[in-house]
Chain A
Amino acid sequence: MSAAHSNPRSALAQVIAVMPRDMALLFQGLGNDLLHELEEIRLRAGQPLELCLRQRSAFVAESGELTSSPHRGVRVSADELAQVLQRLTQFSRYAVEEDARHGYVTLPGGHRVGIAGRAVVEAGRVRAFRHVTSLNVRISRDHPGAASAILPVLYDRVSRRPLSALIVSPPQCGKTTLVRDVARQFSYGDLAPDHPGLKVVVIDERSEIAGSVDGIPQFDLGPRADVLDGCPKAEGMMMAIRSLSPHVVVTDEIGRMEDAEAVLEASLAGVAVVATAHAASIDAWRRRPWMERLFASRAFDRYVVLSRRRGPGTVEAVLDAEGRPLRRGGAEAR
């Protein structure tokens, strides 16, 4: 295991590897400062290549410079897009079929690539995408220590056990980065000086938390972490509880009925669950089907609300099991 992606160029290496040669050369010409700020690469057929940086977005000109003018940006051809898609799927659409059905493919290293195009619908469900017209590459980065600020509230010093927590925010606020660092710090035992560390099972349905390649995590998750890579969350949680005896189960983006049931089951089994969910606030999250039941059952001891107000990972609030604030303020987790 390695602390992947501390260097912006190595973070991008797996992304550049799927780009056509000319496009890859443009990325190689970008400076390190810029790469540090890079959050998304947007490829749209017939449109200029767009980079979304931390505070702004820009197009890449033929000279390799960034420009705000779309007319000066290098246009992405349909052929180039098809080539990127072929490389993304490793020339094996069958292998990413389930993910692609949900509109994304995950690259080695945990970079998620969103897909847009014409959906092929069968029996009312999206079966695949053909005529792909846009790809959105979300750059995944590792920030060791990102969870240090919230770790004390995720651990009960009296009972010496980890607490279940849900990390809530809109997209791109650093939920996955935070949850990855929670897993790592629990696994290393960074909770208290005399704490030996906890057995952590990461249910990584979309390969974003561990960024596994051929099942091997590319991010450092510590010495006591087991990863169920590509495994559906609900099924993975039950498998972990039955066979891996975890202290903590860590997973990303819960939202379905079966996820809620698995979280409940874990909490009843005495296993802490640290999960994330897309929502602007706890109230908004509770309005989702099945989630109110989860809230009412007090399956989570803590709710952490994130935003981008002071950059990704800004902790807006930490709430207890009943939704009452433990503390408030703009502390930055990372």
Chain B
Amino acid sequence: MKVVGAALVMFACTLLGFRVARGYRERPKALRQLLQALIELQSEIEYHATPMPQALRAVGTRLGGWCGGWLVEMAKVLTEPAHAPEIALQSVSLASATNGSLQDADAEPFLRLLRSIAVADRDHLQQPFLAARADLEAAIQAAQEEANQGARLWQYLGALTGVFIVLLLL
């Protein structure tokens, strides 16, 4: 019985460690998807001059998944008359869309980009895209480094915590 109990505790703690580690690994992946969305949005807007709601919808539909859903939701709030567009954009939560892999603050480079290009003419579209891309690439690099350290740490920590609890109980 004791052995079964100890095995269960070990299993639960290790699982918990792996779950936290997965969160660390998901973050750079999710940020890479945001970057991919940004690149596709740039082509849609810079080369085709597609209005923002249509561009967000088109890219969102192409990408699918949480990122596609998030973009389509932004396109929707932009066309709803309830709020001013800038306020409406902030109401679409990135944290909810990614189930917590990203925080709402991670959307800031993207939202800043949308605010900039909303008032830009065609000759001045490239600069905000380059700036947003640089911000996202920096965030990806930081998240990747964090993931490399944090994911392994939490995997070990989960297993070791399990061992520690088992030793305490025995």
Query: Given that A90-B53, A92-B117 are known contacts, is A97 also in contact with B81, CB under 8 Å in the complex?
Result: no
Query: Given that A92-B51, A95-B49, A95-B50 are known contacts, is A87 also in contact with B117, CB under 8 Å in the complex?
Result: no
Number of B residues near A (Cβ < 8 Å) is: 22
- Complex Cα spacing A32 to B78, Å: 29
Question: Does A91 contact B54, Cβ atoms closer than 8 Å?
Answer: no
Query: Given that A93-B119, A94-B125, A128-B121 are known contacts, is A87 also in contact with B85, CB under 8 Å in the complex?
Result: yes
State the Cβ distance, B82 to closest chain A Cβ, in Å: 7
Question: Is the CB of A194 closer than 8 A to any CB of chain B?
Answer: no
Question: Is the CB of B122 closer than 8 A to any CB of chain A?
Answer: yes
Question: Is the CB of A18 closer than 8 A to any CB of chain B?
Answer: yes
Number of A residues near B (Cβ < 8 Å) is: 22
- Complex Cα spacing A127 to B122, Å: 12
Query: Given that A86-B118, A128-B121, A214-B54 are known contacts, is A94 also in contact with B49, CB under 8 Å in the complex?
Result: yes
State the Cβ distance, A21 to closest chain B Cβ, in Å: 6
- Complex Cα spacing A20 to B51, Å: 20
Main secondary structure of the interface of B (DSSP, over half): helix
Question: Chain B residue with minimal CB distance to A19?
Answer: B81
- Chain B residues closer than 8 Å to A128, beta-carbon distance: 121
Question: Is the CB of A192 closer than 8 A to any CB of chain B?
Answer: no
Question: Does B54 contact A83, Cβ atoms closer than 8 Å?
Answer: no
State the Cβ distance, B87 to closest chain A Cβ, in Å: 10
20 further A-B contacts with Cβ under 8 Å, apart from A91-B78, A91-B114, A92-B52, are: A17-B79, A18-B81, A20-B84, A87-B81, A87-B85, A89-B118, A90-B78, A91-B51, A91-B52, A91-B118, A92-B53, A92-B118, A93-B118, A93-B120, A93-B121, A94-B45, A94-B49, A94-B122, A128-B121, A214-B54
Spell out B's residues near A (CB within 8 Å): 45, 49-55, 78-79, 81-82, 84-85, 114, 117-122, 125
